[in-house]
């Protein structure tokens, strides 16, 4: 079983990620790890913190001579902005003043849509900064670090993961299923919003500019696509082993994600079954070899049927609400005075949909790596490869007697 735990707050000195269950012998590419952390910080519409932090992960244990040992891997990601928050986090008459001589007041005006109010009630905190600094999406840097290790395991097994933004505010690039894996993989990492259509991307940029000018925020939707997955990951025999459920929970756990779709997603509710389900055909003569010996002309199921991978590309989408911190804040109540008051304002982004897509890649990678270990479980990378080859041979044998298409 592969699992990870993250610790630390946005205001603290560092975030920590602990990953347990990686097989021994997996080469760890630290440049690839740094690249994933950098991708999380990119995207048009990000706030000032992305200009301050340059995330790097220090591996503290579990790796020697560039390879995993089979023991837990611990990583440290420093918050370089920590020094700028000392006056904020030490509030009261004994607190050091900032450069203007002011001492920061506690956060008592919860932001609609954030964890501020619910968290303060749950943990009985008067200063909601104790809530918001952990509920901050800053913690997703640790998730991306952990997911990068899972991604490197999948890459070693020839499984690739990409993502793209297909909706931002009222601007849409259309049906994400119309975008091929190759088109998505070809998007430059430096693309401002990681959209396949550059014309639509420019419209998205203009929408962000308009929201910023209005003191508002924007959400959107992204899709993660995975190629090279073997058929048979996951299970239908118990509710909590269904891979679609595990993936949906992982993506929904990302801050501000309010809906998750697999394949055609919510679109399946409004059309007949004949336009939803993917026919099963014999491959055309001379067609490229496939993981299994049948062809699917469509992939509306998104690579999952009955909670199990079917050999097609996995396609999972996430729908992100606008960020809760508005520069023109919504109405709230000051819990200290019990008077109506504008919600608190914190440093924030106008839009973070591309970053959420990178976090989703990491979460999907982790769930899939866990499913791979569950099915082919072994203590070393070489053992996993050998078991995958045995299963692939069995699957190929099953189709070896099928007649060719006339």
The residue ranges of every structural domain in the chain are 3-397
From residue 333, give the alpha-carbon distance in Å to each of 217, 290, 329: 21, 59, 12
Range in 72-86, 88-102, 143-157 the model is least confident about: 88-102
| Residue 312 scores a pLDDT above 50 | yes
What percent of the chain has pLDDT above 90? 79
pLDDT above 50: residue 98: no
DSSP characters over 245-286: HHHHHHHHTSTTEEEEEETTGGGGGGS-GGGTSPP-BPPPTT
As a whole number of angstroms, the distance between CA 277 and CA 223 comes to 20
Instruction: Report the distance separating Cα 113 and Cα 382, nearest Å.
Output: 47
pTM: 0.91
pLDDT at 82: 57
The pLDDT assigned to 275 comes to: 96
Task: Of 40-44, 291-295, 356-360, 375-379, give the lowest mean pLDDT range.
Answer: 291-295
User: Quick one: which of 7, 364, 382 has its CA closest to 150?
Assistant: 364
What is the topology classification, in CATH, of domain 3-397? Chorismate synthase, AroC fold (3.60.150)
Q: Mean pLDDT over all residues of the chain?
A: 91
* Both structure tokens of 189: 């990492």
Q: What pLDDT is recorded for position 102?
A: 42
β-bridge mates for residue 77, sequence order: 15, 57
pLDDT score recorded for residue 50: 53
* pLDDT in the model for residue 95: 47
Distances (CA, A) of 396 to 228, 390, 403: 15, 10, 14
> E strands within 39-177?
57-61, 63-64, 67-68, 73-78, 160-168, 171-172
| pLDDT score of 249 more than 70 | yes
**Residue 49 has what pLDDT?**
54
Least confident segment among 196-205, 220-229, 232-241, 347-356: 347-356
* pLDDT band per the 50, 70, 90 thresholds, residue 346: confident
DSSP state of 84: G
Whether 180 has a pLDDT exceeding 80, the answer reads: yes
Phi first, then psi, for residue 41 (nearest 5°) are: -90, -5
Length of the chain: 406
DSSP assignment string, 335-358: TTTTEEEEPP--S--S--HHHHHH
pLDDT at position 84? 55
């Amino acid at each position: 079983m592969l699992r990870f735990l993250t610790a630390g707050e946005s205001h603290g000195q560092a975030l920590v990620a602990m990953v347990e269950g990686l097989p021994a012998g997996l080469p760890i590419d630290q440049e690839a790890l740094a690249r994933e952390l950098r991708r999380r910080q990119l995207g048009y519409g990000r706030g000032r913190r992305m200009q301050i932090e340059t995330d790097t992960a220090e591996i503290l244990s579990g790796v020697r001579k560039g390879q995993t040992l089979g023991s837990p891997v611990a990583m440290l990601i420093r918050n370089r902005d920590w020094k700028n928050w000392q006056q904020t986090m030490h509030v009261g008459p004994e607190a050091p003043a900032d450069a203007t001589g002011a001492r920061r007041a506690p956060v008592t005006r919860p932001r609609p849509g954030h964890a501020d109010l619910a968290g303060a009630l749950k943990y009985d905190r008067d200063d909601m900064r104790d809530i918001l600094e952990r509920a901050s999406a800053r913690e997703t840097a640790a998730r991306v670090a952990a997911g990068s290790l899972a991604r490197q395991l999948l890459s070693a097994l020839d499984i690739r993961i990409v993502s793209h933004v297909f909706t931002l505010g009222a601007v849409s690039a259309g049906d994400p299923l119309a975008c091929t894996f190759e088109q998505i993989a070809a998007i430059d990492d430096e693309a401002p919003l990681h959209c396949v259509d550059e014309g639509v991307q420019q419209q998205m940029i203009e929408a962000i500019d308009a929201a910023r000018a209005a003191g508002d925020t924007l959400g959107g939707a992204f899709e993660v696509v995975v190629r090279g997955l073997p058929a048979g990951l996951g299970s239908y025999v118990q509710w909590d082993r269904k891979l679609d459920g595990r993936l949906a929970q992982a993506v929904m756990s990302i801050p501000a994600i309010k809906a998750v779709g697999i394949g055609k997603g919510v679109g399946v509710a409004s059309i007949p079954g004949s336009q939803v389900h993917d026919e099963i055909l014999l491959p055309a003569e001379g067609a490229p070899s496939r993981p299994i010996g049948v062809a699917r002309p469509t992939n509306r199921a998104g690579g999952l049927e009955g909670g199990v991978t079917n050999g097609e590309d996995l396609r999972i989408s996430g729908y992100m609400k606008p960020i809760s911190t508005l520069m023109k804040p919504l109405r709230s109540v000051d819990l200290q005075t019990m008077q109506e008051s504008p919600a608190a304002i914190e440093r924030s982004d106008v839009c973070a949909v591309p970053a959420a897509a990178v976090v989703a890649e990491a979460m999907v990678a982790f769930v899939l790596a866990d499913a791979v270990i569950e099915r082919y479980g072994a203590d070393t990378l070489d053992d996993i490869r050998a078991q995958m080859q045995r299963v692939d041979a069995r699957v190929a044998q099953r189709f070896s007697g099928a007649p060719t298409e006339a």
